Structure 1
């Protein structure tokens, strides 16, 4: 059973990260559905707006309550997030509440913060509402994937990317189910490393596949990272925790730096691709999140 302070911090930090991830998943789905699927576009937009509302509320409760290490990790927002949202909105017509990002950029940590029983109840309420909404989102994503695989709809998104979005949503669900019981997942370290290394491997594949064929150097580098993370996933089967975590940290930091260059290139129109700038920033934040997890692992 988590103590009050640990429960509040873990809940707020988890929701601040994943609520944004979920709303951006829905935004990506929205812009990758053709106009003939107007009803699904509307459904995606409604779910996205609901997660935006929840995230806005979580930010209010999270200010001063979350840890400095989470703020400094740049997993919640980066220096690129706001501009990535603005450019993506202009290019696609996607409606994005940038006030949320501005509020997140102002988040602070206070070591003397008072973790009250009242806040504990509010945070638990956010956990429960997030779980209810998340279950709707998972069903929606699974429905779209089934339709896509059976040629009932078309999307300008790889089916594997849609499956990737479902995997991340299910991880968030597992975390929420534990937090609602005021515990944390008791998952073997090697399983967690396998999950996130596979996520990083997918990112490399998506970058490679969405770059213009003429971007040969970037595609080659993306493919190299795919091979590195694929090997790390294989190593997790015969897991030496400390060694695997150290190798994962080194590789993820290198990949993070590659993603930073990619985001800067996308924002400054220096890279030819079909990658929306917000997607570039999105996967950068996931790498930042994984790096913090690796640094905090007690091995």
Structure 2
């Protein structure tokens, strides 16, 4: 089965990996959904008792599901886990719909309170993401690593930028150094998000085998022709320089490295902020649980980035970089090979 856009091969998830990953995702995200319900409840105006009660019911529901997820054994059969995933998906959809309703009421000025519209949209997007994660697991198919890099970064980099702005807005204005640091993180992740979207656009529509030779993108027939010519030349020469091949475009590895570095920095910033709040050493209206909440999400992003980085290694016949001079293009004069500076 091929993924859209990149044309790369997907592969099926084993039963063992399905159970392990399902439990990991549920144990992380059910706690996040539970805390979202709490944050919403605390942000409503006291007059909106119906919304507060609904949020509290969601808190209890996700607390129950979280306890079940923690009790499930890694030795449970895939059928039982798949049914649990489906139950969770239904609950998260209900919460997602509630968040959408709350957001609509806020932006149409039908309710007041302290739930920022962007914050509600932010937690709605996270519910959508959780639904997508469980749905993909239940379908038993992993998308190609290149597509995963684009999708995960577009989602998570926006989440990290949002976190920076939430922290900045909830800090007391007198905390100038922390406010400035939060602003800098927001700008940094905005730039990385723009780059992720650019890379996603650049790599869409490529054939299953993408080769970059001396700066040229070559399709499969051209690659075969060049390989045949290379083989003939090799037979004619007594010695042959080895063809250096990397398994993925270096830009993806470099981008992933940049994102990991930035995410480690904001993770440390969030952890520091959480400690300062716990020790009453900074002025803000940030709920200490919220500070810990966003730090855990940064840890989750780093975990995903680490997994993607590992998957980049064994990818073959997907994106090759051949580090030798480009052959001349017959239709152009002079040759169109990449000219070094």
Q: TM-score with structure 2 length normalisation?
A: 0.70
2:139 is equivalent to residue 169 of structure 1: no
2:100 is equivalent to residue 142 of structure 1: yes
2:161 is equivalent to residue 201 of structure 1: yes
Deviation at 1:235, TM superposition (A): 1.1
The residue aligned with 2:37 is 26
Name the structure with the higher strand share. Answer: 2
Deviation at 1:121, TM superposition (A): 2.6
Deviation at 1:184, TM superposition (A): 3.7
2:139 is equivalent to residue 128 of structure 1: no
Alpha-carbon distance in structure 1 between the residues aligned to 2:159 and 2:48: 28
Highest Rg: 1 or 2? 2
Query: 4+ residue runs of structure 1 moved beyond 6 angstroms?
Result: none
Q: Are the structure 2 counterparts of residues 185 and 169 from structure 1 closer, same or farther at C-alpha, using a change threshold of 3 Å?
A: farther
Alpha-carbon distance in structure 1 between the residues aligned to 2:59 and 2:141: 28
Alpha-carbon distance in structure 2 between the residues aligned to 1:257 and 1:175: 26
The residue aligned with 1:7 is 18
Deviation string 1:100-121 (CA, Å, 9 cap, x unpaired) is xxxxxxxxxxxxxxx3xx5323
| Aligned-CA RMSD value | 1.3
The residue aligned with 2:178 is 218
The answer to whether the 8 A contact 1:22-1:51 is kept is yes
Name the structure with the higher helix share. Answer: 1
Alpha-carbon distance in structure 2 between the residues aligned to 1:221 and 1:271: 14
State the secondary structure of the residue aligned to 1:228: helix
Structure 2: stretches of 5+ with no match in the other structure:
1-11, 200-250, 313-341
The residue aligned with 2:325 is none
Which structure 2 residues correspond to residues 1-299 of structure 1 after superposition, within 5 A?
A: 1-62=12-73, 65=74, 115=75, 118-185=76-143, 187-239=147-199, 240-297=251-308, 298-299=311-312
Deviation string 1:64-101 (CA, Å, 9 cap, x unpaired) is x3xxxxxxxxxxxxxxxxxxxxxxxxxxxxxxxxxxxx
Alpha-carbon distance in structure 2 between the residues aligned to 1:166 and 1:282: 15
